[in-house]
Amino acid sequence: MDRTQPARALIFDMDGLLVDSEGLAAEAMDRLLAEYRLERDPDIQPRLLGRRLVEALAIVRDGYGIDDELDVLIARYSFLRTEALRGSVRPMPGALEIVERARLAGYPLALATSGMRIHVDVS
* Count helices and strands in the chain by DSSP H and E runs: 5, 4
Sign of the dihedral through C-alpha 43, 91, 27, 63? negative
- Measured CA to CA, the distance from residue 59 to residue 75 in angstroms comes to 16
Global pTM value: 0.76
pLDDT by residue for the chain (123 residues), tens only, comes to 567 788 889 999 888 888 888 888 889 999 999 999 999 999 998 898 878 889 999 999 999 999 999 999 999 999 999 998 887 888 999 999 999 999 999 999 998 887 777 777 776
CA distance linking residue 11 with residue 111, whole number of Å:
6
* Distance (Å, whole) CA 123 – CA 121: 6
Helix (H/G/I), strand (E/B), else coil: 19: strand
